[in-house]
Chain A
């Protein structure tokens, strides 16, 4: 589940997949700063072939929010 998403997050923030969960956020992942956050957006858009709006990008507080916005764009993370 959510394997592709977790792989991307793990790569961008250099953290093991096992440490990522819905509550992961800039508070729990040290390298999740505003710049790396934007790099993550860029990677997600490229990988899932979507475009987020500015509101969606600034709304993200944790991994759960990312999942929410991905599914709003029709990305099926369980597929």
Chain B
């Protein structure tokens, strides 16, 4: 349940935001009175441990704020800016009288409006490095032409749809610009609820007070991933969470799943979890049960939507649930702060909240028919960009579980590595791999020699420089595709190469992959008549896993740098296959 706007406003006066560990500056521009949104965002941010400072531009001042390079908005220097223009303001008198003009004229007006919006976006980008979130336009439920609106030649509603489509097209080409689907917001809560004529006539308020907190909730969906606060993993209880009843007592045939009304609620909930898994969210289980009882349901129940292959970790045992959650976090190498926990038992919910407050413990009601709605209202799974690797993440983590199981059942590490049938494919930087290479430099903390962070534009520049090599490697094995999980950047000089960046995603460390790739680089250099390769290790708080890498590969310390003399023989591991694309 969302709180009232008045509560947020009074809370915003009492909270101490300076204790928060993350900071963000939010700009708010709108074409109507939107008082209270800044206060609500401040409170919501503080609850996510973010210090939020907001600048709310004067009423209907958005044009001046964007077009004047010296505006207050730009001197405030926001990190993220929300621009909310309503359809009445945009269309002006045409909003009420769309049929006072011909369809050709309507088309012309739409073109003008689109070019106005495009200009605002481009001017904003020129003057400011902030991300820009621009809302699209709501389709009014009413049309003066009544039921034949849908038959009108480029009618009133077509105008708005066309503007929305164009707006999305513009944003697709601008990495820092996003369209907020305000039209969907209105459909979700209802035009009659959101637009209160009295508030509109008295104060030019176009979003009724009660709905400002819901709007703020949607906008938080952008703020969280900007600060790396998006969740990556959902940990689930089993009994009364994924199915009804207790399998240990009610037995395989006695649980509710599929046929009954409650059974359908659990199936629906599982379907939505699966769709999140397909978007790269990791799923895991934390349940007090006999392993055999529970796994039988997962493997054999005809109405289970989620199967064993969807879970990256299965903690089905009688251990303490908080302990299990910590095991999952370590096993998957993800922070506790990236986990959302679903458990129907209020006692368990309370226990996890107190023991591991970093985990987002969802307050589940007793009635399973509400589970799906609660899952869908979470704004914590958003990301601002998505690569192929992100989409495959859920699958890759469950394959990882199978690898670990093989490792535990194999006697020697060499046997294990041989059985994996690893294939390394070296790829050049191109338009398909550049976003991922940039993402790896931005996100990789552990196996990273220099921890240099590069945006897409940087990688693009390097890759077109003849004196540089930018590459990456895709790793596959018998359990599946790990995707592009290595990247390297090399500076070429006549006699010597310098490794600027060499990194490996932590989930593939320790399988000889790093050795194979470095030996590929060494051989390339040797073939081109180079005598020496220089590399650096810049220590950080997190990159100790890469510390011994250079000496282990045969690099020798010379002054402050690590140097490999290419007259030496180059070793490469023989348990894997390396291909160059």
* Contacts A11-B10, A12-B6; A42 near B202 (Cβ below 8 A): no
Q: Looking at B6, B33, B201, which has the most chain A CB atoms within 10 Å of its CB?
A: B6
B210 contacts partner chain A, Cβ-Cβ < 8 Å: yes
Tell me whether B203 and A39 are in contact (CB under 8 A). no
Give chain B residues whose Cβ lies under 8 Å from the Cβ of A18.
Answer: none
Q: Which residues of chain A have C-beta atoms less than 8 A from B210's C-beta?
A: 42
Give the residues in chain B near A57, CB-CB below 8 Å.
198, 202
CB distance from B324 to the nearest CB of A (A): 43
How long is the Cα–Cα vector from A17 to B129 in the complex, in angstroms? 47
- Knowing A11-B6, A54-B198 are in contact, say whether A42-B203 is a contact too (CB < 8 A): no
Whole-angstrom distance between the Cβ of B77 and the nearest chain A Cβ: 27
Majority secondary structure, B binding face:
helix
Contact with A along B1-24 (1 / 0, CB 8 A): 000111001100100000000000
Is A1 at the interface (CB under 8 A from chain B)?
no
**Chain A CB within 8 A of B497 CB:** no
CB <8 Å contact, B5 and A38: no
State in angstroms the CA–CA spacing of A58 and B6 once bound together: 20
Nearest to A35 among chain B residues (CB) is B35
**CB–CB A35/B13 < 8 A:** no
Among A34, A39, A54, the residue within 8 A (CB) of B6 is: A39
CB atoms of B202 and A38 under 8 A apart: yes
Given A34-B203, A38-B202, A57-B202, check contact A14 B209 (CB 8 Å). Answer: no
A20 to B33, CA, bound (A): 28
**Cβ of A34: which chain B residues have Cβ within 8 Å of it?**
202-203
How far, in whole Å, are A42 and B36 apart by their CA atoms in the complex?
14
A39 pairs with B209, CB closer than 8 A: yes
Tell me, rounded to whole Å, the shortest Cβ–Cβ distance linking B90 to chain A.
24
Q: 10 other contacts beyond A11-B6, A53-B198, A57-B202, with CB at 8 A cut-off?
A: A12-B6, A34-B202, A38-B203, A38-B209, A39-B5, A39-B9, A39-B36, A42-B209, A54-B201, A58-B202
Residues of B within 8 A of A (CB): 4-6, 9-10, 13, 33, 35-36, 198-199, 201-203, 205, 209-210
